[in-house]
Amino acid sequence: MTLQPGFISIRNVGKSFGSFSAIEDVSMDIREGEFFSLLGASGCGKTTLLRMLAGFETPTRGEILIDGQPMAGVPPFERPVNMVFQNYAIFPHLNVRDNIGYGLRRLRLSRRRRHEMIDEMLALVRLEGYGDRRSDALSGGQRQRIALARALILRPKVLLLDEPLGALDKQLREQMQLELRRLQRTVGITFVFVTHDQEEALTLSDRIAVMAGGAVLQVDTPDGLYERPRSRAVAQFIGTMNFLDGRVLSRADGRATLGVGALGEIRVAAPEGRAATGATVCVAIRPEKIALHSAAPACGRGVAGALETTSYLGERSHFRVRVRGCAEPVAVSAPNADAASLRALPEGAPVWLSWRDDAFILLDGHGDR
């Protein structure tokens, strides 16, 4: 499927509630057929932005277009969207079939056609045989599937999802993530998904907008956000990251040599216009990109430290290492297939850290954001 840019266009949108600014000058495009997530902590503005797409809130400034049509003044029931809420809003007095077909009541369809459409939705969400079951006799995952089927039966151009997996336990939530992705690929429409769960966003999304304080910090693919965050705020929100301050010693061929305290000199990619010689910068490195050694590396390139803590997490082990000159312990992660001898080390044991030349990332700005 070819994705076309600008199926949903958000242009300089802001939303204020009295003196409080919930959304500040947000501009971005969401492509047709894309699974797009709005990711951020509570209060960042993601649900407010979703409600403006749905028509439940009106932008204070800016405009929203869906499939090239301005949405200003268009009420929710006339927009080419449907919405799935966190609590699913299942009608307890209706059975599964009547819940799914509720939106068809205002359409002039034959009884036979309504039944056909409901049967198609039951098959789509893998609930064949559940049509006559009472809604209050369903599991959380089944209720979520019914809410999805009811939203999709009217064939919206866009499906909006406001943390629909938030009420599920961890195992069911992971199962429903796979089901939701399968469903989106099957129907092929645009999904806009709100979540505060970074792993959920990385698992489901084609692209993700990371939000904080009513602003969009970065829009990128899951691997782009994880491997190439542009700011400290994004890097902190996506996974675990080690942050270090450094000074630019020299530049050449799109790379910069930095002096980073106890780690000595490192080299990072630094496009033109970023990190002038002499500037103080922030660099970051993921825990899994640091190698932990019980003896000094044979290559001679390593930094000595002391093992502070070890945590066993099934597939991987996490270590924290104190390094002289670093304000915070350095986080290291290693697959358990390779880490048995390291886990046996006592706290306080001398260890060494090493890394590849391309392991560090240069972040925009200096400080917390």
- Residue ending a domain, among 202, 230, 258, is 230
State residue 296's pLDDT score.
87
Strand partners, 45: none
Q: Tell me, yes or no, whether 171 and 62 share the same domain.
A: yes
Q: pTM to 2 decimals?
A: 0.88
Q: Tell me, yes or no, whether 17 and 87 share the same domain.
A: yes
Are 33 and 3 in contact, with CB atoms under 8 Å apart? yes
Q: Tell me, yes or no, whether 293 and 155 share the same domain.
A: no
Asked whether residue 190 is assigned to any structural domain, the reply reads: yes
State residue 5's pLDDT score.
54
Most confidently predicted of 10-14, 131-135, 195-199 = 10-14
In the chain, % of residues over pLDDT 70: 96
State residue 365's pLDDT score.
59
Q: Tell me, yes or no, whether 191 and 259 share the same domain.
A: no
Residue 286 burial class via C-beta count within 10 angstroms: exposed 0-12, middle 13-18, buried 19 and up? buried
Please count the CA atoms within 13 angstroms of the CA of 124 that sit on its side-chain side: 25
Between 253 and 25, the higher pLDDT residue = 25
Neighbours of 30 (CB within 10 A): 25
Average pLDDT rounded to a whole number, residues 124-130: 89
Q: Tell me, yes or no, whether 195 and 283 share the same domain.
A: no
Confidence bin at 91 (pLDDT 50/70/90): confident
Asked whether residue 31 is assigned to any structural domain, the reply reads: yes
d(CA 19, CA 24): 13
Q: Tell me, yes or no, whether 34 and 154 share the same domain.
A: yes
Asked whether residue 45 is assigned to any structural domain, the reply reads: yes
Average pLDDT rounded to a whole number, residues 221-247: 92
State residue 356's pLDDT score.
86
Are 83 and 160 in contact, with CB atoms under 8 Å apart? yes
CATH code assigned at 50: 3.40.50.300
CATH code assigned at 300: 2.40.50.100
pLDDT tens track for 42-58: 999 999 999 999 999 99
Most confidently predicted of 107-111, 120-124, 221-225, 278-282 = 221-225
Q: Tell me, yes or no, whether 68 and 160 share the same domain.
A: yes
Q: Tell me, yes or no, whether 348 and 249 share the same domain.
A: yes
Asked whether residue 141 is assigned to any structural domain, the reply reads: yes
Confidence bin at 321 (pLDDT 50/70/90): very high
Average pLDDT rounded to a whole number, residues 320-330: 92
pLDDT of residue 1 exceeding 90, the answer is no
State residue 286's pLDDT score.
95
Average pLDDT rounded to a whole number, residues 312-317: 89
pLDDT tens track for 150-191: 999 989 999 999 998 877 788 888 888 888 999 999 999 999
Average pLDDT rounded to a whole number, residues 94-114: 87
pLDDT of residue 2 exceeding 50, the answer is no
Q: Tell me, yes or no, whether 157 and 271 share the same domain.
A: no
pLDDT tens track for 254-302: 888 999 887 888 889 888 778 788 889 999 999 999 999 998 887 667 8
pLDDT tens track for 336-355: 888 888 989 999 999 999 99
d(CA 60, CA 72): 11
Asked whether residue 3 is assigned to any structural domain, the reply reads: no
Average pLDDT rounded to a whole number, residues 87-113: 85
d(CA 32, CA 245): 41
Between 204 and 299, the higher pLDDT residue = 204
State residue 3's pLDDT score.
45
SS3 track for the chain: CCCCCCCEEEEEEEEEECCEEEEEEEEEEECCCCEEEEECCCCCCHHHHHHHHHCCCCCCEEEEEECCEECCCCCHHHCCEEEECCCCCCCCCCEHHHHHCHHHHHCCCCHHHHHHHHHHHHHHCCCCCCCCCEHHHCCHHHHHHHHHHHHHCCCCCEEEEECCCCCCCHHHHHHHHHHHHHHHHHHCCEEEEEECCHHHHHHHCCEEEEEECCEEEEEECHHHHHHCCCEHHHHHHCCCCEEEEEEEEEEECCEEEEECHHHCEEEEECCCCCCCCCCEEEEEECHHHEEEECCCCCCCCCEEEEEEEEEEECCEEEEEEECCCCCCCEEEEEECCCCHHHHCCCCCCEEEEEECCCCCEEEECCCCC
Choose the weakest-confidence range: 203-207, 266-270, 329-333.
Answer: 266-270
Asked whether residue 120 is assigned to any structural domain, the reply reads: yes
Are 321 and 288 in contact, with CB atoms under 8 Å apart? no
Neighbours of 79 (CB within 10 A): 20
pLDDT of residue 368 exceeding 60, the answer is no
Residues making up the chain, counted from first to last: 369
Q: Tell me, yes or no, whether 97 and 196 share the same domain.
A: yes
Asked whether residue 235 is assigned to any structural domain, the reply reads: no
State residue 87's pLDDT score.
74
Total structural domains within the chain: 2
- Residue ending a domain, among 193, 212, 230, is 230
- Residue ending a domain, among 230, 263, 294, is 230
Boundaries of domain holding 145: 8-230
pLDDT of residue 59 exceeding 50, the answer is yes
Q: Tell me, yes or no, whether 186 and 73 share the same domain.
A: yes
Q: Tell me, yes or no, whether 123 and 272 share the same domain.
A: no
Pairing of the two strands 35-39 and 207-212: parallel
Between 1 and 198, the higher pLDDT residue = 198
Asked whether residue 368 is assigned to any structural domain, the reply reads: no
